[in-house]
Amino acid sequence: MLPATPTLATSIGPVLETLSIVGTFVFAASGALAAARLRQTIVTFSFFALVTGVGGGTVRDLLIGAPVFWVVDAMPAIACVSAAMVVWVTPRKWWSDRALDWLDAVGLAAFAVFGAAKAMSFGVPPFVAGVMGVVTGCVGGIIRDILAGEPSILLRPELYVTVAAFASGLFVLLRWFGLDVPVASVIAALLGFMLRAVAIIRGLGLPAYREAEE
């Protein structure tokens, strides 16, 4: 059986708060990098950073009936704008062609775990909490790709949503076995990032659907 569901104040501790801020900042930076590739203005940088950084968490909070996190706490929005400023003032040559992928990998793992943990703290059933982790980790990147006019990560076979599901599902499973939230968070986020890293380096992906030959 899962441990008794703790209150939000006790379950969202320093480790999860750190994962949330880190995820917000690096996802926002990936949004700003997408704007940089399009040679956009500072306003567009900031907008891309904001919707990428808070998009998934906003949808999650609306679905679980929680106050939208960046509306009640200014820190996430500040982190997004700060990320946009960092990318804006940094020479483009400092960023590798895969920088967006690596920033996205960090944000994906961190957000997937945080999203699942926050959903569980609001009494959401474990399986659905895992789904909320996927929503938290993926929706911001999907919005970013749509705004940038780039092929969505959802339409590529490379492991992405699978990584979010793995990280959030692992967190839920570790909590099921009684691990403390900080320990379960770190393990799930690190292993999720490692899986995404292997996918980036080796191009790992799920097999695509093929129609049966006549």
Residue 184 has pLDDT above 80, yes or no: yes
Per-residue pLDDT of 85-144, as tens digits, reads 999 998 777 777 677 788 778 888 888 999 999 999 999 999 999 999 999 999 988 898
Cα–Cα distances (Å) from 18 to 2, 114, 143, in that order, read 24, 9, 23
Spatial separation of the C-alpha atoms in residues 193 and 61, rounded to whole Å: 23
Residue 210 has pLDDT above 50, yes or no: yes
| Residues 35 and 52 sit within 8 Å (Cβ to Cβ) | no
What is the Cα gyration radius of the chain?
Answer: 17
Spatial separation of the C-alpha atoms in residues 153 and 160, rounded to whole Å: 7
Name every residue whose Cβ is closer than 8 Å to that of residue 115 and which is 6 or more positions away in sequence: 56, 57, 60, 132, 133, 134, 135, 136, 137, 168
Arithmetic mean of pLDDT, 7-24: 67
pLDDT at 166: 95
pLDDT band at 81 (very low <50, low <70, confident <90, very high): very high
Spatial separation of the C-alpha atoms in residues 34 and 90, rounded to whole Å: 14
Average pLDDT score over the chain? 85
Residue 211 has pLDDT above 70, yes or no: no
C-alpha 171: how far from chain center = 14
Phi-psi region of 123 (alpha: psi -120 to 50; beta: other; left: phi over 0): left
27-36, 45-54, 78-87, 183-192: least confident range: 27-36
Per-residue pLDDT of 153-178, as tens digits, reads 777 777 888 999 999 999 999 999 98
- Cβ of 83: how many Cβ atoms within 10 Å? 28
Q: Would you state the torsion angle of the CA atoms of residues 175, 113, 102, 20, taken in this order, to the nearest 10 degrees? A: -130
> b/e for 91-106, b at 16 or more Cβ within 10 A?
eeeebeeeebbbbbbb
The token pair that represents 39 in the structure block: 């040679």
